Amino acid sequence: MLDLQQIRKSSRDEVGDLIRARYPLIYVVSHEEVRVEQSLKRLCIEREMRMEVWSITQGFRVLANGSGDRDVKDPMKSLDHVQRGEADQKAIYVLRDFHPFLKEPSIVRKLRDLATELRSTRKSLLLLSPVQKLPPEMEKSVAAVVDWELPTRREIEKIARSLIPQAPPATQEQIRTDPTFIERVVEAALGLTAVEAENVFAKSMVRTHTFDLETILGEKKQIIRKSGMLEYYEHREEFSDIGGLEVIKDWLVKRRHAFSSRARTFGLPLPKGILLIGVPGTGKSLTAKAVGALWEMPLLRLDVGKIFAGLVGSSEENIRTVIRTAEAVAPAVLWIDEIEKGFSGTRSSGATDGGTTSRVFGSFITWLQEKESPVFVIATANDVSALPPELLRKGRFDEIFFCDLPSGEERRQILDIHIRKKQRDPSKFDLDKMIAATPEYSGAEIEQAVIAALYDAFDSGDDLSTDGLLNSLAEIVPLAVTMRERIEGMREWARTRARLASASSKGQSAATAGKKSWLARHGASIAGGDDGNGHSDGGGKSNGESEANSGNPRKLEL
Ligand SMILES: Nc1ncnc2c1ncn2[C@@H]1O[C@H](COP(=O)(O)OP(=O)(O)O)[C@@H](O)[C@H]1O
Ligand SMILES: [Mg+2]
């Protein structure tokens, strides 16, 4: 069973509810055994439950409400011990690392019998393990799976504060006088386990005699990278690098403070995410990359392919790790590039991989729809036909944007950006000629031509010129020519299902693509960091502003 909704609530409350609801068998996934057990112990003390913890090396030890350790190391006998425990006494039995024994049919059988029996007692059995390895016959019926959350801000802060007495006086003084200092340290360490956080704090203290943000962030990036599926993307792209796509840009600018507590107090819902669909090379990935900088949030890039790269069976594990990490790092942007590539096998999944792809996909969209954490998802797709239709249903994304080939005005902006990037002055070039020569060119193709022209110029000893650019533009056969039908199909598809990413491509040039460039309208307010109130939304609200829908009713797990 793969239930990601459980991540939202504190894991301890979740387990508490499962116990009250008489779930006899609970499977907790966490690398942090000590942290989980301490938290469970507090729960047991509050609720007057006995707590016994078993491991193959130590047998049973009583951690709360009682005494009487038991030297039962044999896994089968440990289950007997649970069975013999007094039925009326409230108790949790925690079995550490029991997953290897779930390969044995007799153990599985015994667990299933026990689960049925425990239902009529006040005893609960909890398997605690760093990996989820449940045999299929138990997955469906027997166990509830809880992904134990990573440490919260408060927990991380406690760890950091515990090290302060050992810091040099100057550092202690700095922490005392700068109230935001610890806050930033904690922010930088979110997403680490308690042990990882403590380690990196200690390392930083030894090296720099303070909490060094660079060291902490560096460690976090490495750990995120180690997960193998997420990359902490260092953004180099700025919003001003994007030509055209006014409607998307306006949408994103308008929401750049949407994750602040001020926005919550104001009554705004958390933005969930957007899907950018469209012609290859039109700036979808570019836009995703630039959001991190605009919103000043970490940008995590998810490689969907890698979720499935391992052995079948661990993919479920992988998607949960991704979500758990993103939620711990939040507020964060989760960028899923070319989402169709990872999830295209969803429909045939039952036949090809025992349903793994569709299960993983299912838990992803459930999370997308129900998440209440400040993780903003930006997904991009080049191929509409490969997208599973469930992804497009209302309530998954706030908006679906369609990125068409750039209009003339948009190509002007794109040319301007790329010529400027090569340290040349765009006003020295005949942009009108180039615009006329490039109908149906994508932004990527224009960029490619600028680079090619620059090479030619360098080779012939000239400088970049209009003629040079026109020549290299003429050498490109735009994708639009070779994939005309596919693009037409996409446009047709988008007409009813998506919002156009740029107003001008819809022929509304007067409204947005007009005289003033996007930057002229927004540049000042971004730089000044003001609220960005008062600029109009460039496009029609064809797809409806769906913020109002995002307060989905919480689906109870129990
Ligand atoms: N609208 C645009 N404005 C500026 N540059 C663009 C634009 N669209 C594409 N490019 C250039 O082409 C490159 C590739 O575009 P990309 O965002 O990867 O396209 P997509 O993801 O839509 O296929 C970008 O990095 C950028 O240099
Ligand atoms: Mg792309």
Residue 55 inside a domain? The answer is: yes
- Mutate which of 419, 447, 476, 519 for ligand 1? The one with the most ligand atoms within 8 Å of its CB, which is 447
Domain range for 253: 239-405+495-550
pLDDT score of 253? 95
Residue 558 inside a domain? The answer is: no
Q: Do 424 and 329 share a structural domain?
A: no
Residue 286 Cα to ligand 1 middle (Å): 5
Nearest to 487 by CA among 353, 334, 382, 339: 382
Residue 347 inside a domain? The answer is: yes
Mean pLDDT, 10 residues at a time, over the chain (558 residues)?
Answer: 48 90 89 93 94 95 88 92 90 95 93 90 93 79 82 90 90 88 87 90 91 88 80 86 95 90 84 94 95 89 82 72 85 92 74 77 88 92 88 91 95 97 95 95 96 95 94 94 90 90 56 40 40 36 33 32
* Ligand 1 atom showing the smallest separation from residue 445 Cα: 12
pLDDT score of 510? 37
pLDDT score of 519? 42
Residue 233 inside a domain? The answer is: no
Distance between CA 391 and CA 459 in Å, rounded?
Answer: 49
Q: Do 372 and 274 share a structural domain?
A: yes
Q: Do 280 and 165 share a structural domain?
A: no
Residue 162: burial class (beta carbons within 10 Å; 0-12, 13-18, 19+)? exposed
pLDDT score of 538? 36
Please compute Rg for the chain using Cα positions: 28
Q: Do 423 and 400 share a structural domain?
A: no
pLDDT score of 557? 31
Q: Do 510 and 382 share a structural domain?
A: yes
Q: Do 419 and 352 share a structural domain?
A: no
Q: Do 433 and 381 share a structural domain?
A: no
Assign 441 to helix, strand or coil: coil
The residue whose CA is least distant from atom 19 of ligand 1 is: 281
Residue 122: burial class (beta carbons within 10 Å; 0-12, 13-18, 19+)? middle
Distance between CA 115 and CA 142 in Å, rounded?
Answer: 7
pLDDT score of 141? 65
CATH number at residue 420: 1.10.8
Domain final residue pick, 226, 251, 278:
226
Nearest to 336 by CA among 393, 383, 274: 274
* Ligand 1 atom showing the smallest separation from residue 382 Cα: 23
The residue whose CA is least distant from atom 26 of ligand 1 is: 444
Q: Do 243 and 208 share a structural domain?
A: no
Q: Do 272 and 174 share a structural domain?
A: no
pLDDT score of 504? 61
The residue whose CA is least distant from atom 25 of ligand 1 is: 286
Residue 555 inside a domain? The answer is: no
Compute the CA torsion angle 71, 76, 81, 87 (nearest 10 deg). 160
Q: Do 371 and 252 share a structural domain?
A: yes
Residue 446 Cα to ligand 1 middle (Å): 9
Residue 26 Cα to ligand 2 middle (Å): 41
CATH number at residue 29: 3.40.50.300
* Ligand 1 atom showing the smallest separation from residue 276 Cα: 22
Residue 490 inside a domain? The answer is: no
- How many other C-beta atoms are found inside a 10 Å radius of the C-beta of residue 57? 8
The residue whose CA is least distant from atom 18 of ligand 1 is: 285
Residue 480 Cα to ligand 1 middle (Å): 15
- How many other C-beta atoms are found inside a 10 Å radius of the C-beta of residue 509? 16
Residue 556 inside a domain? The answer is: no
Residue 86 inside a domain? The answer is: yes
The residue whose CA is least distant from atom 17 of ligand 1 is: 283
Query: Do 44 and 34 form a contact (C-beta atoms < 8 A)?
Result: no
Residue 332 Cα to ligand 1 middle (Å): 22
Distance between CA 206 and CA 336 in Å, rounded?
Answer: 37
Q: Do 73 and 32 share a structural domain?
A: yes
Q: Do 22 and 111 share a structural domain?
A: yes
Distance between CA 288 and CA 311 in Å, rounded?
Answer: 30
Domain final residue pick, 205, 226, 247:
226
Which residues are within 8 A (CB) of 309 and not within 5 positions of it... i.e. 6 or more apart?
none
User: Domain count of the chain?
Assistant: 4
